[in-house]
Amino acid sequence: MKQPVGGRRELVMLSLVLKVLRYAFHGLFASALSLAPAFAQSPITIEFKGGDQAVKALSLKDLAALTPAVSLKVFEVHENAERIYRAFPVRPVLDKVFGNEWKKAQEIVFTSIDGYQPSVPVAKFLAHDAYFAFAHENGRPFTMTNTLQNNEIVQLGPLYLIWDNINSKELLESGASDMPYQIKSIEIKSIAPFPNMAPPANASAEVQRGFTHFRKHCMACHTINGEGGGKAVELNYPVSVVEYIKPEYLKRWIENPQTIRYNTTMPGLAREIPNRGKVAEELILYLKVMSIAKRAPAKSSENISEQPESRFR
């Protein structure tokens, strides 16, 4: 028996509707799967602080509720290759957690599980697009082979700060110093942090530049008078590094540490840095000035590493 023409038309329409629904469901399901492994692997919460006070502690699921995740291709400085990450845009996250207050702050301090602690100017987040990565897009384990640290395999989660850097010469030249992984704490600072690290106000322009270089390239790992990152050793108190390493070796150590210590995981100054040799020299000038400006670290400091040979590396 032949079906009425109208009946066949309805069956065709029904079939099309079912296909559309199937594809839509497949897309949503795939998106959910891309989030699920990362969320399952990272039960840790990330603490957000303002003025030394905890504001919120959020899991990856909480962050997903604040802003949609995106796929972002970046030039992965640690691996010297392009990579695609699943990530949350930073500005919407900070807006939801801190309101507009974070834009009035001076710096944002990130503390990592391994002790790495960079302090990034707020102006950089306003000028460039940053993201909190939580997974590789292809679903492989959220790790990386860090070629800057002697091919050390590192865990990246729970969060990894990345930048939309492929088309930005400025971001590419800045290297990996503002790309902390294993982020466990995010704190906005309304006043300049680390006062015990600052050189005397009457220090020369070269020394002040050396301080800026130290803040940008060294402070995330090392401490001066107890202030800075806890991943590597204190460089000033009670004995300064300039007091037990000859200047020519110290410069070589800063630029190419593996030429002095085999298998060290300390990265040298990024080769992309303009005037790299002069940067190293100004770093040493800063360290020399700080060697006569020693201050005992606070005993309660969380930043002082307890690890022997802790990455001095």
Q: Looking at the structure, tell me whether residues 154 and 219 fall in a common domain.
A: no
Domain boundary among 169, 189, 209: 189
Q: Is the pLDDT of residue 298 over 60?
A: yes
Q: pLDDT exceeding 70 applies to what percent of the chain?
A: 81
Q: Looking at the structure, tell me whether residues 220 and 281 fall in a common domain.
A: yes
Q: Are 236 and 286 in contact (CB under 8 A)?
A: no
Q: Looking at the structure, tell me whether residues 156 and 208 fall in a common domain.
A: no
Domain boundary among 174, 189, 204: 189
Q: Looking at the structure, tell me whether residues 177 and 230 fall in a common domain.
A: no
Note the pLDDT of residue 135.
98
Tell whether 72 is covered by a domain. yes
Q: Are 258 and 213 in contact (CB under 8 A)?
A: no
Domain boundary among 189, 207, 234: 189
Q: Is the pLDDT of residue 31 over 60?
A: no
Q: Is the pLDDT of residue 46 over 90?
A: yes
Q: Is the pLDDT of residue 110 over 60?
A: yes
Q: Is the pLDDT of residue 41 over 60?
A: no
Q: How confident is the model at residue 7 (pLDDT cuts 50, 70, 90)?
A: low
Condensed to tens digits (0 to 9), the pLDDT of residues 69-86 reads 999 999 999 999 999 999
Q: Looking at the structure, tell me whether residues 91 and 169 fall in a common domain.
A: yes
The Cα–Cα gap between 5 and 34 comes to 44
Q: Looking at the structure, tell me whether residues 48 and 182 fall in a common domain.
A: yes
Tell whether 108 is covered by a domain. yes
Q: Is the pLDDT of residue 252 over 80?
A: yes
Q: Looking at the structure, tell me whether residues 183 and 203 fall in a common domain.
A: no
Tell whether 10 is covered by a domain. no
Q: Count CB-CB contacts under 10 A for residue 262.
A: 7
Q: Looking at the structure, tell me whether residues 177 and 210 fall in a common domain.
A: no
Q: Looking at the structure, tell me whether residues 276 and 218 fall in a common domain.
A: yes
Q: Looking at the structure, tell me whether residues 208 and 134 fall in a common domain.
A: no
Domain count for the chain: 2
The Cα–Cα gap between 293 and 178 comes to 27
Q: Which amino acid makes up residue 173?
A: E
Q: Which residue has the tokens 């085999």?
A: 262
- Quick check: pTM over 0.85? no
Better-scored residue on pLDDT, 99 or 311:
99
Tell whether 32 is covered by a domain. no
Task: Report the CATH number that the domain containing residue 219 is assigned in CATH.
Answer: 1.10.760.10
The Cα–Cα gap between 223 and 291 comes to 13
Tell whether 177 is covered by a domain. yes
Q: Looking at the structure, tell me whether residues 212 and 159 fall in a common domain.
A: no
Q: Which domain holds residue 281?
A: 195-290
Note the pLDDT of residue 51.
74
Q: Cα-flanking dihedrals φ and ψ of residue 58, to 5°? A: -120, 140
The Cα–Cα gap between 116 and 146 comes to 14
Q: How confident is the model at residue 9 (pLDDT cuts 50, 70, 90)?
A: low
The Cα–Cα gap between 168 and 175 comes to 12
Note the pLDDT of residue 270.
85
Non-local (6+) Cβ contacts of 268 within 8 A are: 254, 255, 256, 257, 258
The Cα–Cα gap between 216 and 210 comes to 10
Q: Are 272 and 198 in contact (CB under 8 A)?
A: no
The stretch 31-48 carries a mean pLDDT of 62
Tell whether 2 is covered by a domain. no
Condensed to tens digits (0 to 9), the pLDDT of residues 206-243 reads 999 999 999 989 998 899 999 988 888 999 999 999 99
Q: Degrees (nearest 5) of the Cα angle 183, 142, 266?
A: 60
The Cα–Cα gap between 225 and 237 comes to 6
Q: Looking at the structure, tell me whether residues 126 and 241 fall in a common domain.
A: no
Q: Is the pLDDT of residue 268 over 50?
A: yes
Residue 267 per-residue DSSP state: P
Q: pLDDT exceeding 90 applies to what percent of the chain?
A: 65
The Cα–Cα gap between 208 and 213 comes to 9
Tell whether 295 is covered by a domain. no
Better-scored residue on pLDDT, 230 or 32:
230
Q: Is the pLDDT of residue 98 over 70?
A: yes
Task: Report residue 110 as tokens.
Answer: 């990130």
The Cα–Cα gap between 178 and 175 comes to 8
Tell whether 9 is covered by a domain. no
Note the pLDDT of residue 307.
38
40, 200, 238, 240, 286 from 204: Cα distances, Å? 52, 9, 24, 20, 9
